Structures are given as structure tokens and as C-alpha cells.
Structure 1
Amino acid sequence: MASWYAIRARGTGAEVAIYDEIGAYGVSAKGFLAELGALPEGTPVDLRLNSPGGSAFDAVAIHNAIKRHEGPVTVWIDGIAASAASYIAMAGDEIVMPENAFLMIHDPAGLIMGTAEDMRAMAEALDKVKGSLVSGYAAKSGRTPEEVSALMAAETWFDAADAVAQGFADRLIEPVRIAANFDIGRFRNAPPALAEQVEAGPEPDDDADGTNTEATDDVADGDQVEDDEDDEVAAPDTPEPPAQTPPPSGAPPDPAAIRAEAIGHARAVIDLCRLAGQPQMAARFLEQDVGLDEVRAALIAAKAEAEPEIAPHHPQPGRSSAARPWGEIVARTFKLKG
């Protein structure tokens, strides 16, 4: 099964790579915590991050587990540490950022479909999560909780120099080549410079001096990134991702493009199922290779069958003429979201 993290032995230490959305592919933090806990006490850890964020609940659990680790933890932000990923970074003893990397903090968000009580419960949960995040950011940066809370509410992006100046990182290193398939358009304040780097992708030629690192999803799937002790950055021993361009007529399809398309489809299916409150249906849709339109139709039908109507008043015997079918409401929601 695909995963968003990888933990590997590295000489006398270990390397932990989070190079995707935290909690993606239906893989929670449970396995991550088990693998991290299996490391011998005192093991030095290099934690490499290139992630747009993900599950805030998983991030809090991962942050706390890293803080409990007995050995030294050095965090390397290999491109982007946004949202939940930036909170995980705060658990490191030292945070190292290339000059062109970015770190972002914002308020946690969630989706829920249900009663007013369900909404209030979600709001309370988000407030508690934010309290934990504020404490972690404040402890690392030395800023007051009130200052951190305001920065989070504004969705604040820091380039590497700003992050060091504000106390959210400790050390700058040479720029890296950012290569990631993250959709940063979902963030309202994403810096134009970051958008240009992500869209441009990596340079076509390799660095002869080994001062740059590749930040690709493939690292989380088993490729290795080594540390260059002379330049204090990772050497580019992972393969350069091929250009995302259509193959010429008659040429075989690009495996990387096929993989990226499959991952994008899987994420869309999982997101739709979560929005509909039916996450357990995602596995069946993916196994049957169902298209997104069919997924929407099936989710609408399932919701309509479970709860056939919403009435503006308390239910009375018989069907109200003012009732609105759940199918219509969910269809409108999916149309707006998708």
C-alpha cells in the first residue's frame, strides 16, 4: 500500500521522510508511531519534510511522539512544510531550511455533515487542536501564544529567512530544487514565488557538486536521500522525476505520469467519500476503478437512502411539501466542491 512516510536506518541513526499529505491513502499515524517507537533509545533521527500538511490530529500525535524520542532529532525542510507538517517540524531539536523553502502555519479546519450538535462538537475539537498547535509553535519560536494565534488565523507563510528570524527555524542552507505535485491553490495566501517553483519543477540537469536535493513523492516510496557532510544538505541520489508532458505519438506512456494520475484520482475519491461521511466506501470505489461521476452518484444515492429528507420544521406524519431531498443537497455540495 502507498504511504506518505518512510522510516529507514542510516548508519548509526535513522531517516524519517514525510513527503506527502499526512494521513493520505487511508494510512493513519498509527503505523508511523509504531515504527518510530521501535527505534532504539538515543538513535539520532533526520526528519525530512516536504508536505502540504494533512490530518491535524495525526500531526499532534506525531509531534508528541517525536518530542518523546530520546535521541537528537534534526528536521530538514526539503521544500514545503505547511499546515500540519509545520507543526511536526516544531518537534525537532534543530530545524534546517534551504533558502528557497517555505513554512506555513494556519488554523486547523475540518469538514462535517450532521446536526447542530455535531457542528458544535467539531468546533470544540478544532479549538482544542488549535490550543495544542499554538503551544508547540510558541514553545519553539519564543513568541507569545497570542502572537502565534494571530499568525495562524492569518495563514502566515514564512520563507526560510523569515522563519529563522521569527524563531520557527534555526539554520539556513543552500537552495534546493523543489519538485512536488502538491496543490497549493487550496491555500489562500500561498506565495507566488512558491507557486512558480512548484509549477516549474526541478532543473533538467543534475548538480555536479551535490549541493541540492530532490524533494519528490518517490522518496517516500523507498528511494534514498543521503546527507552530504561537507555542504550539510542532501545529495541528489534520487532519480530526477521525468517531465510531465504527453509522450510523442507512438511512444509508450510515461510511468510517472500514470502514477501521478492514479494518485490524484485516489485522493479525489477519498475526499468525496469523506465529504459525504462515507469514508468506508472509498476502498470499494478504488478497487472497482469507478469514475468520479459514478462515485458522486453512488454517494448521493447512499445518503438519500439513509436520510431521505430535511424539513425546515420538526417532522410531521406524511411527507412535507417543503422537504428537500438529501440527494439534491449533496449533489449541489459536490458540484461546488468539485
Structure 2
Amino acid sequence: MENEKNFILQEVINDLMDADTSLLGPLMKLNYFGRLIKNQELTDFTSKEIKGYEARDELPDYRKTMQRLIAHVRGYMIEQDVEVPISMLEEPYKTALQKMCVMNGIQVVEKMANEMMEEKKHSEFYRQLPMEMLPSIQPIIEKITKSSSRIFVQSAMTVANAHIFLEIQSNIRTKLLDFVMETGDKFGFNIEIESFRKNSVENNQIINNIMNTTINNSGDGNVLNTGDNNNISNSPKIVKNDIESLKNELRKQGIEEQDVIELAEIVQEEDLDENNNLGEKSRNWVLRILDKSMQGIGKISTAVSANLLATIIKGYYGIDF
């Protein structure tokens, strides 16, 4: 940053557009920006992503993923791993173990993702359960195993798809980019802090509205954009598995034909993940389109955002908003 008089959004954009750059940098810069303009929502969000979350109920959906429960059991001449149906557990374990929740700060998330990529073979993430929970699993094991002798639970662990660590980074990066782009469209990409503070209440309300339609948008509502030139107030209409309707909607947004054709090929070979998030190729495509929009390349609509593009793509898969 130059100093406390100005905040240059372009610096954050540059960090976000470089997929090899840690997200700690742009998160720290936006946390600093939130403190300068005294915006508690922005400060709280960035602080939690930097340091980690303390409570499960405040965790965003992109930090959760479905998981399985595996018990290691032993009996007379028997020793094996058994998958335990989580639905058979009593509360509170039933709810607590349905999804793996990643509470860690962004540096730990990035470290876990890097380790997964380096090892390659390990695409699953394991968490050992405390011994205190084993008695709650024992009755279920007795129901689902067939043995003439008594079988005991020796240990248990949850297993989840380790790609969640990549998904978290992708979600944060696209949400922050969307937020910064819309903030820049509204206030300019070189924000004078003193001028912003003169209308602090009104301006921070605008920032909060932008956050609610970009960062805090869970993807289960309509696409809302706050820029002056926006003309989209609800979800695009895409027919499931209809490539032509997908192409037509992209063309309406000013996407170049070459990019339209590229995405059409991607969606036919790549599916959404188990949490209905975009695949890696689709996410990279979205980032490239936003980069073109930022540089003024082509005739891409000013209303185009990461959320809008994700909505269009998910519409092809039959996910309605």
C-alpha cells in the first residue's frame, strides 16, 4: 500500500490472479483495508480466513465436505476395517460426523493442499477419533458384522476427499476477486480513505451489500450484482445438458466465441464435485474470463462476475438457483 491515505485494489487483484501466490497476502491486505474503513464484516471475514474459525456454526459451506467413518475392529481370528454408517449413530455424533469441517487458517489449508499434491497417491484425508467416542460405535459394529465371536472396536477414523483443501483455496480466491472487482467498479481501484470516511455509514453499507452478493453468497439464491451498469436480477435460464443454451447465455454476456467453445468442451468432460462446486478446469476458465474483463479485452458485459459465470455453468448441470 502507498500509505493510509489510499488503498490500491489493483495490488490485491494482482495477487489473486496469480494462482501460485499464497492467499495470505490478499487476505491480509483486505483485512488492513477493512480496518482502515472501519468495516467490521470485512475485518471479521478476513481475520477468520487468516487465523482459522473457532465455531462450526460460523464455518462457510466451502469449508465442509462429506466424510465416511471407518472402524478398525478385532475379534477371535478377525481383524479388519469396517465402514460404519454414520446415519446409525446417536446424536450428537450423527450430526457432528456427517461432514468434515476445515477450521484451520489459510496457511494450514495451503500446506495441506501442497502435501496432497506432492504425494499424489493420497487423495483422502484421515482424522483419528478420540477413544471416548468408540463406545458409541460398538453397538453398530455388533449389528452390521456377522461373527460367532464378540468383535471390539479398537480405533476409528473419518475419511474425506482431500481435494477439499484445493476447493477452499479456489472458493476464497474467486470470491475475493469478485468482491474486489465490484468494489473497484463502485469506488474506483485507488480508494481515497479520507474521502471514503466522509460517508462512512453509507459507503460501508455498500461494501456490506457487495460482500453479501459475492463473499457471503452461498450459491442458493438469485444472482445479484451491485454495480451501476448491472442488468441481471435473477438466474440465467439454462436447459440441463443443453450445450446450445449454455453457449447462447455466454454470448449474451459478451464472452468471445473461442472461450464459449472452450467451456462447452470442458463441461462435457468435467463434472461438479460432491458439493456441487465447479471442477478445476471450469474454475480456471472463470478466472481467465474475469482477467479479460478486468483488462477490457473483448466485449464482456460489466455485469459479469465469478458468481454469475458459476451460476451459468451450474445451470448446464441442472443446478437451479
Do both proteins adopt the same fold according to a TM-score greater than 0.5, normalized to the shorter chain? Answer: no
TM-score range, shorter chain: under 0.3
Q: Determine which structure has greater relative contact order: mean sequence separation of CA pairs < 8 Å that are 6+ residues apart, divided by chain length.
A: 2
Q: How high is the TM-score relative to the length of structure 2?
A: 0.24
Greater percentage in helix: 2
